[in-house]
Structure formats: structure tokens, C-alpha cells
Structure 1
Amino acid sequence: MSTPILQFGTSRFLQAHADLFVSEAMESGHAIGSITVVQTSGDPTRAGRIGAISAPEGYPVIIRGLEGGTPVERALRVRSVTRSLSTAKDWDEVTRIFVEEARVVLSNTGDMGYALVDGDGVNGVPRSFPMKLLALLHARFRGGGMPLTILPCELISRNGEVLQRLVVDLAGRHTPDEAFISWLTKRVVWGNTLVDRIVSEPIEPAGAIAEPYAIWAIERQTGLILPCEHPCIKVVADLTPYERLKLHILNLGHTVLADRWMREGRPEAECVKDILADTAIRAELQQIYRNEVVPGFRMHELGDEAEAYVETTLERFGNPYLDHRLRDIAGHHPEKIVRRIIGFRDWCPGVPMPRLSAIADR
């Protein structure tokens, strides 16, 4: 069994996004192959997911929502994951697959996935994801240095470039070999990507419930290898408009609502659709979009696109079939404020943003 796609992270998001796309593409012969999924956290509470995600019968993904105003519900089986491992227990096998089989590497390691650990190194099993990736890349270089495409799916602006700079810097300090560093920059493709799908609930031990809307935008560059062809995958010349719209409209809206939910001590199980049933809160969010967000996009000649995306976003927020809990959105709230709100304000100097600034400066 050979798996040309190696995925770091077992998140329910990837289960209902990239893994689902590859599964559907495999059915029509439009995928480069199947996936090995690697758990990087070592979290024992997710041990059951490791085996279930690669079960021969696949795992379920349920798509629920509105398409053109019409309710839809589709029950799917994802069978693209044929092997699942853990860096804590299977490091040697992960290394072998990375060196010998992988053509495309995916990652979704959470909001703090690129954080480093003091005293971490490339010997043994590194603790942080960037150091794990450096050790694996160094092993691949020593094993022949075949080209590789890395497609990070973390919600970080220019995520491929950010990850490349981080790993190259670590290489300069931990594996100072000019030939290796040259290979990292010339033979490894670090893709900038944007992912967008609301995956509201897990299905235990593996699987998820998600909305119909989905996009995976990948910035075009020489040598790029895609894991599959799929209608939801868009290869684009410039990722910036997609990135800004998603980060500063959908994600920003989530953070605005989560901030209100935390400040007011609202019900623990409250969902996005529930809080927006409050007409005053919905009106406030609409005012933020209309008076602060869209003018910022107009400054960058993206006003029409922003208005259309706001309309789509509000419809997605109101999806009656998804229980997208605010307590989940509220995780790592300070970091999200920096990226989603303060980052938008910095991008649009001179545009009045009183409501957003009240959240940012609190």
C-alpha cells in the first residue's frame, strides 16, 4: 500500500473537507492516490479516532444546509484514508512514508500549530509541528530529495510562505547545510491555501457534520502538485482576495459573535443561528458589515465582492441544520481578534471602525 498524500492532523474539518474531496475524486479516477493521516498531538482522548478514520468501510460525513434556498441533506462515506498513525507511537513509519511515498503533504494543526517549544530539536521525536516537519524534510533530503508539495490548511495568512520561512529558519539553526536549505527553497513547493467550510459537529469516533458550501483555494505556482481534481478546489493566480474575504467577513463575524457570547455570559450550548435569532444582535452584525467592513474592502477595490460575500455569509450563519456552537468558535479568542479584527483594521487605515475597535481595544 502506497499513500502519496500524507496528512498531519485528524481534525473534523479535514475529515469533511480535503479528505472528502479526495474520496470523491478517487471514485472518478481524479486523485493521485489515498491518504495516510498522522496524529501530531499525542492526545490520548483522540486515540479512538486514529483507527476509525482509516477503517475499510470509511467514516460518515453528513452535509446539511441550504442550496439555492432548498434544504439538502446528504449522507456520504469517506474512504480516502487508508492508513492512520501517530507521531508519538509510529515515528519511524511516519518518517519512512514521508521519505518514500509522499508527493503531497497536508496539515491542519490548529490555531497554535506553528508554535515552537523551548529546547525542542530534530533528534528523537520533536515536540512541535514545525520541528517535526523539519526533521522529516531533512530525512527526505538525505533519502534522495524528491520534490514535494506542502499544502498547509491552517487559518494563517499566506500560510505556505509563513511555514516555509519558519522551517528554513529552523534549518539554519538545527541542520545548517546549504544544500539542504537550497532544496527546501527550490524543490519543495510551499503552497499558500485558503480553506472555507463550516464543519459544526463531530461524529464519534470519526466523521463530521458540515454545510454544503466549501472551497479550497490554492495559489498557482510552478511545480505545484494537487492531491486531486474537484469542483471545490480552485487554483488561482492570487489568493489575496479569497483570503481577505473569508478572514475579514466570515471569520471576523464569528469572532464578533463569540465576543458578545462571552461578554454577556450567554447559554453554554448557544449556536450561531441561535444568537442571530436575536434581532438586535443580527442588526449590529449587519451594521458592522455595512458600515465598517464593506468600506474597508472598497478601499481595496473589492467592495462588490465583499457585499456578495456578506450576503452569502449571513445565509450560511443562519443555516437551520447546523449546530455551530459559539463555545467552539471562542477558542483562542485573543489570537483570533489579532488576525481577524486588528489585522483588518491595519489593512484599512483611515476607515472608521468604532464597533470593531471596541472589541479589539477592550
Structure 2
Amino acid sequence: MTGLILQFGTSRFLQAHVDLFLHEAREAGQDVPSVVIVQTSGSAERAGRLAAFSDPAGFPVVLRGLENGLATERRVAVKSVSRGLSTARDWAEIVDLFAHEADFVVSNTGDSGYAVTPGEASTGLFADTPLVSFPGKLLQLLHARWQRGGRPLTVLPCELVNRNGPALRAIVRDLAATASAPQDFLRYLDQEVVFANTLVDRIVSEPLQPAGAVAEPYALWAIERAPGLSLPCTHPSIVLTDDLEPYERLKLHILNLGHSVLADIWQRDGRPEHETVRAILAEPAVNARLDAIYRDEVLPGFSARGMEDAARAYVATTMDRFRNPYLDHRIADIAGNHALKVERRIAAFLDWAGTPAPVLSSIVSRQKATA
């Protein structure tokens, strides 16, 4: 396969998820394009990580956990990434790669990655210097690609945003309209660029330096079928589905909701700074609180939506993942952007389920009161 995968975001999650899948597919004999990782933040702290992506020896990903009740540990040298670039330093080269060589775009730009700086598109679409936001940069790059021939492209966003592909497409389309983009370019966006709707699921607990990560064995990349969609590889953890919503609801409103409940307890009770998910759940009172929320508030909501059996099974899997004795998943990391996560994970569940949930409602109310 010719071309490249341009990955926007240097996160340890992508290193232990998409980058690992691509490496394993290549090792299995598939013709998988190389990944060029693009740092969008301009953070000087990650310069060492960018340099490490150019190491032909790859970067380590360590998978530790329980599989079928048995302890497992596997270390992989991931070699799917060829190098790292920065939008702050290498913009002209990124524009050229995007316009001529990219066949796929992967992104994971954080919980606020789709936020747009007011008025940024008014400066125009020409890509001499990058716009501030990730959607703004993506618009500029798509415009440059269209100007230089504009062959089809598949965008595979991995942000934990409901219907992430359609959401990103709508933001880019609105920015294009604000910038008075040509109608031919808008048609290109609509007809030749696929913004896939995806869901990612893997707990990545800690970084390795300068690049790499420690993660659990469980992983899922669910991707909704769409006209014109193509994928860079096949992999046992990649699932193509006609309807992503069941996967989305289970992950967002059970695993991620549980994380945010624990973060709320951790913050309110003033618990130890470096406490992990496993450690907080080792305390019987905390474990009982989370169990009660799942039993009395979450499962009734899924039952009302005809998903009780799937939700019960996913709750059991989630609790096993939370208690993984090999992962030190710090609650301080989970608690980042807590208010936004509560809105997306808990408030959105209450709106969707429509069933009584007094404890979850109180968490949402407290966040609104402190906003």
C-alpha cells in the first residue's frame, strides 16, 4: 500500500492502540502504510517524544493484565511510526505530506481537541502558517490537498466525542463556510473526504519515556461502516459495525462514567494524590458505592433502552479491568478536564436513559454549581 497515515496527536493512548494495531498487522504480513505523527500543541515538553518516533528500533508498548483469568504480560517494539513532526516547526512539510502522500488521517487531540478559537477562520484557508485549533489546521490541510489534486481521504478520529466523525466534519464544514471557501472545495469535502464515526477502548495507564506506554490487554476500535470508507489494515481488535451507538453507550456510560464517579469521590474526599483506580476500589466502602451506582442507576437506564444483558456483561468486564493488578491507572490523570467529562459521560447518560439516578444527578449538579 502506498501513501501515509498522518496521525495528529502524540498521546500514549494512540501509541498503545492504533499504532500498535498497525504494527501487528504489518507483522502479520499486511501491506500497511507508515505513520507520521504530528504534534499539534507545540509543547516543548514533547520534543523528546517526537525525536523518539524516528528511531527505527521502534518504541515499547507493554501489555499487562488478566486474560481468561490468567496473568499475562507482553512487550512489543512498535515500528509502525516512521517519524514525528510538529505543526509549530514543520508546517510546510506537513502541508506537503498531507496534500500528496496521506491516504488516512488519525487523530486523538484530547477532550477539548475540537474547540475552535473564535474568528480564526477569518484569516483565510491558505496554509502558510497554521491556525490555532486542530479543526482549523485540518481545514487548511484539506484545502491544500484539494488545490493540489484532491484525491479521496479517510479521516479516523479517535477522540472520545459522541459521533466524533460527523462532529468533526460539521466543525470543519462550518469553518470552511465562515472562510468563504469555494463551492468546489465544499463539494470535495462532502464527496471525497470520509469522516468515520469511531469508538476506541483501551486503558493506557502510564507513559514510557521518551515514547511508549503500559496498557491493558483489552482493546477495541469500533468503526461504523460508511460509503467510501477504507481502512489501513485489519486487526482482531478492529470491529466494523453498521451501528456504533451500542458500543459507544456501553463504553461512555459504564467504563468512562465509572472513571468519572471515582474521580468525583477522589476529589471530594481529598484522597491521596497518587491513588490508583485499583487502590481506591480496594477500599470496601468505595467499591460498594460504585457497585450501587452501577446496580441502581446505570443498569436500569440501559434496561429501559433494551440493553440490559449487554450492560450487565460490560459492567462485569469493566470491574475486572478496574481491578487489573498490573496497571497503575492514576485517578489524577482521569480527573483532568473533570467538568467536561462529567457532562459527556454522566449528564449525557441521564438525558439518554431518562430513569431515576439521584447519586449521578448530584454529581452533575455539583459540577454545574462550581462552573
Shorter-chain TM-score tier: over 0.9
Equivalent residue for 2:108?
108
Deviation at 1:284, TM superposition (A): 1.0
- Hey, what does 1:5 align to over in structure 2? 5
In 1: Cα distance, 2:13 partner to 2:30 partner: 22
Amino acid at match of 1:262: Q
* Partner residue in 2 for 1:307: 312
- Is 1:3–1:35's contact at 8 Å kept on the other side of the alignment? no
Contact 1:4 1:101 in 2 (8 A): yes
Q: Which residue of 1 aligns with 2:97?
A: 97
Distance 2:148 2:154 in 1: 17
Tell me if the contact between 2:15 and 2:212 (Cα under 8 Å) persists in the aligned partners. Answer: yes
Instruction: Tell me whether 1:51 sits opposite 2:56 in the alignment.
Output: no
Letter in 1 for 2:363: I
Matched, 1:265 2:270: yes
Deviation of the 1:170 alpha carbon: 0.4
Which of 169, 173, 179 does residue 174 from structure 1 map onto? 179
Please say if residues 255 and 318 of structure 2, whose CA atoms lie closer than 8 Å, have aligned partners that are also in contact. yes
Q: CA deviation at 1:29?
A: 2.4
Q: Contact between 2:60 and 2:211, CA under 8 Å: does it hold in 1? A: yes
Q: 1:3 deviation in Å? A: 4.6
Name which of structure 1's ranges 321-330 and 28-37 shifts more when overlaid on structure 2. Answer: 28-37
Q: Give the C-alpha shift of residue 145 in structure 1.
A: 1.2
Offset, 1:32: 3.0
Aligned to 1:353: 357
Instruction: Please state how far the C-alpha of 1:27 moved relative to its aligned partner.
Output: 1.2
What aligned pairs does 1:142-157 form with structure 2 within 5 A after superposition?
142-157=147-162
Indicate if the aligned counterparts of 1:131 and 1:167 stay in contact, CA closer than 8 A. yes
CA contact (8 A) 2:87 2:130 kept: yes
Supply the distance in 2 between the matched residues of 1:88 and 1:326 (Cα, whole angstroms): 31
Q: Give the match for residue 19 of structure 2.
A: 19
* Number of the residue aligned with 1:238: 243
User: What is the CA-CA distance between 1:31 and the residue it aligns to?
Assistant: 4.3
- Structure 2 gap ranges (5+): 367-371
Alignment partner of 1:292 is 2:303: no
Q: Counterpart of 2:176 in structure 1: which amino acid?
A: A
| CA displacement at 1:4 relative to structure 2 | 1.7
CA distance in 2, matches of 1:359, 1:119: 34
Paired AA for residue 161 in structure 1:
P
Q: What residue identity is the alignment partner of 1:62?
A: V
- Deviation by residue 1:121-163 (Cα, 9 ceiling, x = unmatched): 4342111100000000000111111000000000000000000
- CA drift at 1:182: 1.2
Is 1:134 the counterpart of 2:139 in the alignment?
A: yes
* Other structure's SS at 1:361 match: helix
**Residue aligned with 2:52, SS:** helix
Q: Residues 257-304 of structure 1: CA distance to partner in whole angstroms, max 9, x if unpaired?
A: 000000111000000000000111111111111111111111111110
On the 8 A contact 2:25/2:32 being kept in 1, the answer is: no
User: 1:298 is matched by which residue type in structure 2?
Assistant: S
1:341 matched to which residue of 2? Answer: 346
CA contact (8 A) 1:103 1:225 kept: no
Instruction: Give deviations 1:86-112, integer Å, cap 9, x for gaps.
Output: 000000110111011111100000011
Shift in Å at residue 74 of structure 1? 0.6
Report the CA distance between 1:342 and its aligned residue.
0.4
On the 8 A contact 1:152/1:160 being kept in 2, the answer is yes
> What CA RMSD, in Å, does the superposition of the two structures yield over aligned residues?
1.1
Task: For 2:277 and 2:32, locate their aligned partners in 1 and report how far apart those are by CA, in whole Å.
Answer: 37
8 Å CA contact retained: 1:216, 1:232? yes
Residue 369 (structure 2) aligns with: none
For 1:257 and 1:109, how far apart are their aligned partners in 2? 24
Q: Aligned to 1:297, what secondary structure does the other structure show?
A: helix
Q: TM-score, normalised by structure 1?
A: 0.98
Task: Deviation per CA, 1:203-262: give whole Å up to 9, x if none.
Answer: 010000000000000000111111211100001010000000000000000000000000
Q: Distance in 2 between matches of 1:359 and 1:222?
A: 40
The separation in 2 between residues aligned to 1:175 and 1:136, in whole angstroms, is 16
Equivalent pair of 1:65/1:320 in contact (CA under 8 Å): yes
Which string of whole-angstrom CA distances, capped at 9 and with x for unpartnered residues, describes residues 158-195 of structure 1? 00000000000100111421111111011111100000
Contact 1:219 1:239 in 2 (8 A): yes
Aligned to 2:102, what secondary structure does the other structure show?
A: coil
Tell me the SS of whatever aligns to 2:120: coil
Could you tell me the percent identity over the aligned residues? 58
Contact 1:63 1:212 in 2 (8 A): yes
Task: For 1:93, give the aligned amino acid.
Answer: E
Mapped to 2, the partners of 1:229 and 1:173 lie a distance apart of 38
Q: Which residue of 2 aligns with 1:330?
A: 335
Aligned partners of 2:181, 2:63: CA distance in 1, in Å? 48
